[in-house]
Amino acid sequence: MDLRFLLVLVCFFVSGFAGLLYETAWTREFSFVFGTSNLAVATVLAAYMGGLSLGAAIAARHLHRIRRPVLVYGVLELGIAASALAVPYLIRAVTWLYRPLFATAGVLPEEGGAASALFYGAASFAILAVPTTLMGATLPMLARHAVEDESQIGRRIGTLYAVNTAGAVAGTLATAFLLLPELGLRLTVWTGALLNAVVFAAAAVLARGAGIAPRAASPSSAIPLAWRGRVVLAVAFLSSVASFVYENLWFRLFEQVLGASIYAFSTMLGGFLIGIALGGAAAAPLARTRQGSAVGLAFSQIGAAVFSALAFVWVDSLPELAAFVNQPGILGVAARASVAATMLLPSTLCIGASFPFAVRALAEGVEEAAATSARVYSWNTLGAIVGSVAAGFYVIPGLGFERTLLAAAMLNFFAAALAATSTGRFARPVLATAAVGAVALRVARPSEPWGLISASTLTFEVSGGGEGVAADRDKLVYMGVGRTSTVLLLEEPGAYRLRNNGLPEASIAREGAVPVNSLTARRMSLLPAFASGAPPTMLVIGFGGGVVLERVPEHFEQIDVIELESKVIDANRSVSALRERDPFADPRIRVLINDARGALMLTDLRYGAIVSQPSHPWTAGASHLYTRDFFEQVRGRLAPGGVFVQWMGLQFVDEPLLRSLLATLLDVFPHVRVYAADPGSLLFVSSPEPFELESGAEAVMDGDPSFARAGLRTREHLAAEFLLDERGVRALAEGAPLVTDDVNRFATDSPRALGRPVRDLTQMLAPYDPLVGNVDGLDPVYLVRHLVRTDRMARAKRLARALSDPLARTLAEIEIAHGLREPRKKKKLVKSALALDPNALVALYYADPAEAPASAEAEGVAMMRAALRLHDARDWAGLAELEDGLASLDPRHPGYPEAQVLRVDWRIGSGDRARARDAIELIDTQPFAGPEQMARRALAGVRSGEPGVARHSLELMAGLMLGKKVVMTPLAAEWALAALDGTPEAAATQAYKRLRPKLEKVARSEKPR
């Protein structure tokens, strides 16, 4: 290999680097206009590939005129640089045209059909035509320079192809891991342009010493193609179709263990391209003669089919192998990707070998070499368009994974048989081998790779391990292979778990399940109802498990929902009759399949509330919904007085990323508040105008059972979830970088945060607590009691210490001592409180009856003591007579929680079916209180004739108690045993056989109530 050709290879490596850099960047830029729906992404990719094909075809027609190919190659690179820099401006121009053409007045648009696809394709091709056409001409141009005699046709063109592909590998990895995180989208494109300019300069220098290429006899279009030539081009086309079907197939499968981050996508693509590059490099020196190359082309097709089928057979072992090499964080993605790439290496070697074999099999002489490479490249790229579009839209969704593999392999075998017609004396063995392979694969059809499909990505990424990633096949309720993702619905105790490409999406409560999960999801539709003055319309971005939509307040009259993947909707519909509440039965709800940004761009609708809940903020369909650009779009779709509610899971952000999210919201919305209903996630409520949710909360809650069902009955309940006001948000956000479309820190940093999320949110937010020293309009003692009952002890202590009134502070400390089971301290505090005020209700309630003053008879204290005596005696009829008094207690009364228990117990004890059903309703509107509450709920389920309620309650109770000391009253233990006896399928399980002796021991004890 001469030095000049070596330098040309270096230049072409850089060209490949820049080419994949552009493809990655442009796909993201177009998603901001057209969205991330499969239709939009596929049309952009088709336009990109179409330009490459056109460039190769044009080059094939005009190569015979080129005398200084290296210089022309350099000029092409300079043209790529200039036109690449113009792409963002052209996208803006298309956006200006796109909106008026497809805007829908007064309605939210669904995913576009043929007209949209035509516009996407035409606009994308028009924008990318110049740079991609120039890219497509570079390989033929360098082939024109590099091939000087017939022996070099296969070797040098194959080497160029392999080196360019190797550059593409480096480009895709560097763009994802270095350029986008450090420079952002715009500067990444500028980096590509700079590399193109450097290549131009290097090519200009190389061209000075290069000889003048001899003029070809005629343009390629004038060279007639014999049957042999047409066969080779057809094989190149079919081979590429099959290859891109495989690529889509492997990407969809490997997402289950690699995830859907830009790092996972780039490592998957890099691994695929490495095999192609090595295959091209290995085949290049073997492609010496036309007939030998035709044989090599045929056997490369057979090899691609056979090795792809074997990889599919072994792919179920990928989760186990990935777990073995896995590490926490981004290194884990690389380690898992290396295993996947190794599994695919034999098949991708065969795919990569096809190109040099096809070029040499087609080229009759050195004068045709460059034009032949252009022809093969053009047909190869056309096959890429057909394969990628067909796989994403029709083949994989229509056939599923195993039949897609079978179809692609059969296409390879057919291509091999076609290639055999040009192999002369080798035709029979090639045909026989292809036929045997096709028959064998058809007879021994591959099975569904359940172990891989059911793997959970987060098990790898969060824990660094992979144990237990595969789900039990018997638990499968629904499986749908959609255009963008694979959706599973799995049965688990009390719920159905929705997974999307291996990522846990939502938990759907089954009928009769305990409403303790998904508190945050339920809050998302409730919080906007407290904002006054906005129209009663809501937009929800992301359907998920539909939990947000299960109990939307009656205040809202119209609810639009945007979901990207239709299979998510199908999964939810499959359990409509089995879930706790069916959102599809709500006539206010309208579901649309579309990308949120694309839909919002085309509507003039304004909503009183917009709720956004994309689940995993690093994925392609979600990361662009956390940027300043999207938040500005949302602001434009809010009606006056409207609010925007944004969800965020704390496992997906570290402290810097959380601060950036606050800063980004604050940059668009001057007024931002933060709420939390459970320890695992946050809700950001934002508005362009000042708002306050707590002051009128009880008027909103009154008469609407949705709030009580979600545990909101007083303004103190809402205030307890209020973590940050505008002052705190501004303090935390100060100095944090914004998240933008250009520098999307969620796409690049959130996958890294999975290994190091926010650890102690309470400590982080404590200095900015909006309730410390500011409890105007609230009952501070009741607020502290509620915090204690809902396991937020640190905040309860902080608020109690901050109370300036000595009596209120003492009463709050009584509630804390009661919650911590510190009777001596509580007794001392009660005495101090009564010294300050003999009529202090909280102190009177907790005082020893023998020592309480006469005023203890007031405000329901005497009634509660009487009711407790009746309960201890199990006098259910006597307790029922006190129902009116128990029901009349205000939620702020210190005896209210016990009153609800008493109301439940006499209903269960009565044995009446209707009253047992009422008991379930009472339990489900109270804060979750552990195993005792589940024991009551289980027996109420048995006595009301609702076995689902009993079963789910017992499942949760057992999970809370097994392996731990049983803390339960004798009555509750008796009722748990009675519930087990009334639920045979639960009583027969191993878990309850272990639990029963413990329950029997507690039930026999003399422990007082």
pLDDT in tens, 648-673: 998 889 999 999 999 999 999 999 99
From 466, 487, 156, 476, select the one nearest 325 (Cα to Cα): 466
pLDDT band at 1009 (very low <50, low <70, confident <90, very high): very low
State yes or no: pLDDT of 259 exceeds 90.
Answer: no
Tokens of 628: 């300043």
CA dist 883 and 909 (Å) reads: 14
Residues 6+ apart with CB under 8 A from 776: none
pLDDT band at 46 (very low <50, low <70, confident <90, very high): confident
CA distances for 894 relative to 545, 801, 861, 906, angstroms: 37, 20, 9, 20
pLDDT of residue 402: 93
Tokens of 885: 């008094």
Residues 6+ apart with CB under 8 A from 851: none
State yes or no: pLDDT of 2 exceeds 50.
Answer: yes
Please write the tens of the pLDDT for every residue from 387-422. Answer: 988 988 889 999 999 999 999 999 999 999 999 988
State yes or no: pLDDT of 887 exceeds 70.
Answer: yes
| Complete DSSP assignment for 552-566 | --TT--EEEEEES-H
Percent of the chain exceeding pLDDT 70 equals: 94
Average pLDDT over residues 519-547: 91
What's at 550, amino acid-wise?
E
Q: Strands 722-724, 486-492: parallel, antiparallel or unpaired by DSSP? A: unpaired
Tokens of 640: 């006056």
Contacts 24+ apart (CB under 8 A), 876-882: 876/905, 876/906, 876/909, 876/910, 877/910, 879/905, 879/906, 879/909, 880/906, 880/910
pLDDT of residue 852: 66
Give the count of alpha carbons within 13 A of 883, CB side only: 14
pLDDT of residue 952: 85
Tokens of 715: 């303004």
State yes or no: pLDDT of 45 exceeds 60.
Answer: yes
* Average confidence score pLDDT of the chain: 88
State yes or no: pLDDT of 4 exceeds 90.
Answer: no
Residues 6+ apart with CB under 8 A from 91: 29, 30, 32, 33, 127
What DSSP element (H or E) covers 646?
A: strand 638-649
Report which of residues 101 and 734 the model is more confident about. 734
State yes or no: pLDDT of 991 exceeds 80.
Answer: no
Average pLDDT over residues 295-321: 92
Report CA torsion sign: 664, 558, 530, 637.
positive
State yes or no: pLDDT of 856 exceeds 70.
Answer: no
pLDDT of residue 853: 66
Percent of the chain exceeding pLDDT 90 equals: 52
pLDDT of residue 144: 86
Please write the tens of the pLDDT for every residue from 319-353. Answer: 888 888 877 667 777 788 888 888 999 999 999 99
pLDDT of residue 956: 84
pLDDT band at 36 (very low <50, low <70, confident <90, very high): confident
- Is residue 333 within 8 Å of 260, Cβ to Cβ? no
Give the count of alpha carbons within 13 A of 87, CB side only: 30
pLDDT of residue 1008: 45
Which residue in this structure is represented by tokens 């650890």? Answer: 759
State yes or no: pLDDT of 218 exceeds 70.
Answer: no
Average pLDDT over residues 283-312: 93
pLDDT of residue 758: 78
Report which of residues 752 and 528 the model is more confident about. 528
Instruction: Report the 10 Å Cβ neighbour count for 532.
Output: 13
- Is residue 117 within 8 Å of 38, Cβ to Cβ? no
User: What b/e string do you get for 597-625 counting C-beta neighbours within 10 Å, with b at 16 or more?
Assistant: bbbbbbbebbbbbbbbbbbbbbbbbbbbb
What's at 437, amino acid-wise?
G
CA dist 323 and 444 (Å) reads: 29
Backbone angles phi, psi at 170, to 5 degrees: -60, -40
- Is residue 706 within 8 Å of 552, Cβ to Cβ? yes
CA dist 584 and 576 (Å) reads: 8
Average pLDDT over residues 798-814: 94
What's at 760, amino acid-wise?
D
Average pLDDT over residues 35-58: 82
Please write the tens of the pLDDT for every residue from 64-94. Answer: 788 888 999 999 999 999 999 999 999 888 8
CA dist 163 and 114 (Å) reads: 39
Of 39-43, 59-63, 579-583, 595-599, which gets the smallest average pLDDT?
39-43
- Is residue 720 within 8 Å of 697, Cβ to Cβ? no
Q: State the Cα torsion 796-802-805-810 to the nearest 10°.
A: 40
Instruction: Report the 10 Å Cβ neighbour count for 710.
Output: 23
- Is residue 251 within 8 Å of 265, Cβ to Cβ? yes
Which 8-state DSSP code applies to residue 472? P
